[in-house]
Structures are given as structure tokens and as C-alpha cells.
A and B are shown apart, each in its own frame.
Chain A
Amino acid sequence: MIELIHVTKRFGETTAVDDISLRVERGELCVLVGTSGCGKSTTLRMINRLIEHSDGEIHIDGQQIREFREESLRRRMGYAIQSTGLFPHWTVERNIGLVPRLLKWPQARIRERVEELMAMLGLPMGEFAGKYPRQLSGGQAQRVGVARALAADPDILLMDEPFGALDPITRETLQEELRDLQSRLQKTIVFVTHDMDEALRLADRLVVMDQGRIKQQGHPLELLREPADDFVESLLGGEDRGLKEAALLSVSERMLPLSPRLLPRERVSQHASLREALSIMLWRHAERLAVVDDEDMPVGELSLRKLVGAKAHD
């Protein structure tokens, strides 16, 4: 659990972060989003004391971060950044084993842990362990960066635009994998990005920042439906908000049970988002879709009326 209480950061005359309060629960993925220079990275870096806060208090698991030694505080938190920060003179294996080595784990345990992580992130040990960072593609390097951040099994993960430099397809794959990892590992994650789609896709709690202040925070759907002001609304996509919301809702939320009527030919998975369903309707010129499960068996149907219908379920 991470808690920021009235935290302020001043650099000389300028105030980078202005009196923000934020609580990230255990197992929650909190995304800080905003334009560049809004103080989101500064906020992240204050949590592991790469930047010392000027005023207020920051707690992790109820303890003030200033009570920890800087190094031991950071070793308890995973840290992944946009440039990956992989050490170019170390192999992938050595890079991933960095924090466990700092924590003086026994050799055998480090090796075992590295092997486990590489398997988890789809980097076969035999192929990648001995490679150097410059021999990796952008996506592979970022996977190694995430593996390194997870190495000592920290409760907290700090990620500063980790997927910002990747091509859209690789980025989406890695976002998917992060969501997947998070559902299994239940870390407390603070994730900084300026990409609103990424923020909406990942966040349990979305925090919109502007000029050092928190404009609004809450579940992504809350922000989409009731933006606090024009800034939040435009950041969330203005007129595009409908599609962004549809992307967060799944077909199973709006589908109707099977009826005696003839099922339409066009089909959509029950796990797909409403946005995907809408896209299929547009593409196929169909007003009704059959909803199918993983075995491709029909489980219901979705009509355009129902899709765009009243927000009956919340």
C-alpha cells in the first residue's frame, strides 16, 4: 500500500508537484496520466526517493519512506523505465539478477529466480540468458526490464512510461502481458504514461494530473462518465469518449440470453469489448451479432440497440 499525504515538491522557485494526496491499495494498478511536465514522473520518483519530496508525507505499508535507508527502500520496489536502463556491459541473465545480488541472495537461488522470470516473460533461457542488451529488440529489452524490476519479488512496482518507445503492436502485446501478470501476481503498481489508451486499458485507478496537481482520480469508467472539468474531458478524448468507454466494457455485460429466434451469422466472442463488437457491426453491416464462448458455442446475442442502450448495468 502506498499513501501520499499532501505531498509537495519544489525545485527552487517552481513547484513541480503541488499538495497531492493519493492512496494506492495493495494489488491495485494506479496509472498517473497527464501532459508532459505535469509532475507525474516527479511523483513516481518521489516514491522511491530518487527525488526527495519537499513537504508532506509518503508512506509505504504505513511506514514513512524517510525512515528507510534509500538503498533498502529502492530494493523493495521494482523500477522499470522507458529507456529500459539495461546495463549494456552485462548479459541479460546478470541484468535480471541485479537486485537479488544486491540483496545477497545465494547464487543458486538467484539463478533459479532468473530462470523462472525469463520463462514467465517468454524469454527462453537458452536463447537469451547470454545475450547482451544491444542484441535484443525493443520489446525483448523491455521484457528484460520488467523481469529485472520483478526479480526480488517486490510488493511495489514503479513503472515510468515503460512501453513509451515501442511500436504500437509490441506495446499492445506488452500491455496485455502486464495485465495478465498483474492478475496473477497482484502487485501494487504505479504506472506513469501520457498515452490515454494505455492508461484506460491498464488502470484500476486512473489519476489525471495537470500542473503539479491531481485533477481527478478514480476508476477509468467513473472518469469517462463524469469528468470533473473540461481539461479531464479533453484529455480523455472529448467526443471519442464513447468509443473509449466501449473499449472498457465487455460484450457479456450487454448481451441478451439465447432466444428462440434464429441466430445471426456474424459472431463475436463474449470476452470482446463493446468497441470490437461495434466495429464488427459496422464492418459487416449487421445489427445483430451472435455471442460465442471460447469453444465457439453460442451463448447469447447482442443487438445494436442493446449495445448503445441505456447504462442499465451500473
Chain B
Amino acid sequence: MSVGGIKAIVSRDASRPNVVLVSLLLATLAGWLGLDAVSVAPNRIVPGQGHAAWDVAGLPGLAISLLPMLAVLWLAWRPSRERLRLALALVVVMLAALPAWLALAAARLVDADLPQARMGVGAGAWVALFLLLLAMIELRTRLSLSRPLGWSLLLAPLVSLVAWLTFGLEPLALRQEFQGRSAGFIAAIGEHLLLVGAAVGISLVLGVCLALTMRRWERVRTLGFAVLNFLQTIPSLALFGLLLAPLAWLSAHVGWLAALGVSGIGWAPALLALVGYSLLPMVRNTYVALDEVDPGVIDAARGMGMSRAQVFRQVRLPLALPVILEGVRITTVQAIGLTAVAALIGAGGLGTFIFQGLGQAAMDLVLLGALPILVMALVADALLGALTDLLRPGGAT
């Protein structure tokens, strides 16, 4: 029934252009032609020289690169299910070909005699990357592909990216920055994940306990929300600074805390501050989730003779779970970003590269820190979002 319905929608739309896809592709074309594809610099210090797409492969090469874009544009003009499938395949191919295109640019534009010469990814290529990803999402929705299938479509571009990074993209500035710091990079990702995981884990446990207490005692609720709201308004750097003195004092006077590694700077104040920030969204969502379960359902559950524990475990909690997970999702994404700032007080993590890069005016080093944070946040968002959908009452929506 529903499959038939979707088919009907697709075929009814077949006569009309898919406006989203057409505009995305037009923007991609404009960016590809109008913006710099790459920038090349002889060393790390001097600013790079921009190169447009036709510098990379000449006019014939440019023409070839335009072909799949025009093809998708044409397919999106009169979309049928088959045409959209073909368009999706073309978009995936383009995404997978992007690293190869960068390798070609590196081979042709970077002077092999200069060991310090490097190539940065230009605005044109970034724009193409993001718009094509959006096009992929649009096509996935139009074709109503399942979530796992949608994710697996990213596999080909990812494999291509890893392969080219390993074998053909030595001059890429990002890779050069990584080259000298590979061990540090892996460690930083580990630290980052550990801090985020610990902060979210601790605030989840604390948050659920707090929310349950607040549901029982009105006084705790007003006081608790006031404190948490206040915490949220302190700027993160200031909070790190405020924690410095008391924690330093504690580690000097309490032996076992010092032995644990607690001090005024490092992971301890970072974790404390992260938990402080994470608590509000966690508590608020948990509280609201538990509180907003339909009172009629709870009344029926009790009227049917379920005990308090049964009502909570079998009815209230499962119905609240999607909203609670929503809180975990918000908190996680927020903590992934905030942990970057924690690098300033020596907590490690990917923020280290960002602040080093800012200090040295090396934008590619900043990117080396920022890009993984972006990816982490997107992946966490998608995974927790998928989990939330899975747990929604009454199965898939």
C-alpha cells in the first residue's frame, strides 16, 4: 500500500523537475566554474596561489568533469524512479572521483622539486563536496532508501578518499600536517572521544537521577533548574578558569586526588566543566520526557492494576526513551564541540591542533583538528538519531 503510494508520487512528479536537485546542481556548477578548485603554495609560510578548475586539467579535462553534473541536471529535469537511481549513481561516482581530481591537480600544479610545496583544497572543491552530499541526501529521500543503504552509499567515496590519501596525495597540505603528527593525531582523537564519552556518560547517569528527584520534589526542581541554567550561561573558558583554583587546592591537599591525576589544569577541570554543561540538556530532556507521557495512558496503566514499578518500567520509561535519547544526542554533539576548547587548559583532544594552527597561522593545521570534530559530530548525530527512530513507540514511523 505505502510502496504503491510512493511510486504514485514519484510517477506523478515525473513530469515536473525536481527543484531541489536542479538548484543544487546549478550551484555546484557555478562553484566549480567560478571558485578556486585548489590553492598551491611553495612552503607553509607564504599564502597559496589559487587555481581554477581549468588550470587543473585544461579545457578538455574541465569538459569531462562537467559531463556528469550536466547529466544529473538533465535527469533531475524529468525525474522518474529509474532516472533518479541513475542520478544517484552519478553523484556517488562524482564524490568518489573528487579525491582523484585533487590528486591530478597535485600532480600537475605542485612543483615536485620543492619538498615543502603544498596544495590546499579550494573553495570550489569544498562547495562541490558539500552540495553533492546534499544532493545525495535528497536522492536518498526521494527514492526512500533505508538508512543503512543510504550510509553504505558513502562507502565508495570514503574508500576512494582513503586510497588516494595513502598513495597519491602527498602534497595535500592537510596530509602534510598530518604526516608529522600521525601518532599525536590518533592520540588526540582517542582523548577527544574519551572526554566526550566520559562527560556524556557521567551526565546521563547524574541527569537521570536528578530528573527523577526533581519529579518527586518540587523544591529540588526549581532550585535544580535555576543552578543548571546559571551554569549554562558561564562562558566555557571562564568556567575552566573558575575551576582552576579550587581543583589546584584540592590536588595539593587531598593525596588520592593528586594520585588520580586531578589538578588545576588537564582532564579534571575539563571533564567537570563538560559535565556541568551537559547536565542541563540532559536533565531537561529527561524531565520533560518523563513528565509529558500522556496522563491518560498512566491512569489506564494504574487502573489496570500495574504496580508503580511496572508503570515506570513498562510504560513511562519506554514512552519517554526517544525524548531522553534526543537529550543524549544534543548533549553529545555539544560536548564534541566544547571539548575542542578544553585543549586550552591542557586537556588534549583535537582542539590542540586547532589552537596550534591558530597560533602558527597555519589554516591547514586548524582544519586537521576541525574536520574530524565535524565528522564526529555528524556521525554521533546520525547514529543517535537512528537509534531514536528505532525506539519510537509503535515501531518505525
Contact = CB atoms under 8 A, between A and B. Distances in A.
B97 to A, nearest CB: 45
A85 B294 CA distance: 8
B393 A86 contact: no
Contacts of B307: 71
Contacts of B393: 88-89, 132
A74 B302 contact: yes
A85 B319 contact: no
A132 B306 contact: no
Contacts of A98: 304, 306
A16 to B, nearest CB: 17
Contact of A50 (B296, B299, B310): B299
Given A81-B296, A88-B297, A50 B394 contact: no
Interface in A76-94: 79, 81-89
A73 B294 CA distance: 24
Given A132-B393, A132-B394, A133-B394, A85 B299 contact: yes
Q: Max chain A CB contacts within 10 Å: which of B301, B393, B394, B395? A: B394
Q: Max chain A CB contacts within 10 Å: which of B300, B301, B304? A: B304
A134 interface: yes
B300 A88 contact: no
A81 B300 contact: yes
Contacts of A50: 299, 302-303
Nearest to A132: B394
B318 interface: yes
B322 to A, nearest CB: 10
Contacts of A82: 296
A158 B302 CA distance: 13
B311 to A, nearest CB: 10
Contacts of B301: 85, 87
A79 B302 CA distance: 10
Contact of B305 (A75, A86, A88, A145): A75
A102 interface: yes
Interface string A141-170: 000010010000000001000000000000
Interface string B288-330: 0000001011011111111100100001001100000000000
A79 B305 CA distance: 9
Interface in A173-188: none
A78 to B, nearest CB: 9
A85 B296 contact: yes
A99 B294 CA distance: 20
A48 interface: yes
A81 B305 CA distance: 14
B394 A79 contact: no
B164 to A, nearest CB: 47
A99 B301 CA distance: 10
B395 A85 contact: no
Contact of B303 (A79, A132, A133): A79
A107 interface: no
A108 to B, nearest CB: 21
A102 B306 contact: yes
Nearest to B397: A134
A228 B343 CA distance: 82
A234 interface: no
Contacts of A133: 394
A72 interface: yes
Interface in A92-139: 98-99, 102, 132-135
Contact of A99 (B297, B304, B319): B304
A98 B297 CA distance: 13
Interface string B383-394: 000000000011
Contact of A132 (B300, B302, B305, B395): B395
A131 to B, nearest CB: 9
Contacts of B315: 87
Contacts of A89: 318-319, 393-394
Q: Max chain B CB contacts within 10 Å: which of A82, A102, A132, A148? A: A102
A191 to B, nearest CB: 15
A6 B310 CA distance: 34
B304 A102 contact: yes
B7 to A, nearest CB: 21
A134 B305 contact: no
A162 to B, nearest CB: 11
Contacts of B318: 89
Contacts of B306: 71, 98, 102
A74 B296 contact: no
Given A88-B393, A89-B319, A134-B394, A74 B304 contact: yes
A148 B304 CA distance: 9
A144 to B, nearest CB: 11
Given A50-B302, A79-B304, A134-B394, 18 more contacts: A50-B303, A71-B305, A74-B303, A74-B304, A75-B304, A75-B305, A81-B300, A82-B296, A83-B297, A83-B300, A85-B301, A87-B319, A88-B297, A89-B394, A98-B304, A133-B394, A148-B304, A158-B303
Interface of B: 294, 296-297, 299-307, 310, 315, 318-319, 393-395
Interface of A: 48, 50, 70-75, 79, 81-89, 98-99, 102, 132-135, 145, 148, 158
7 contacts: A74-B303, A74-B305, A83-B297, A85-B300, A99-B304, A102-B306, A132-B393
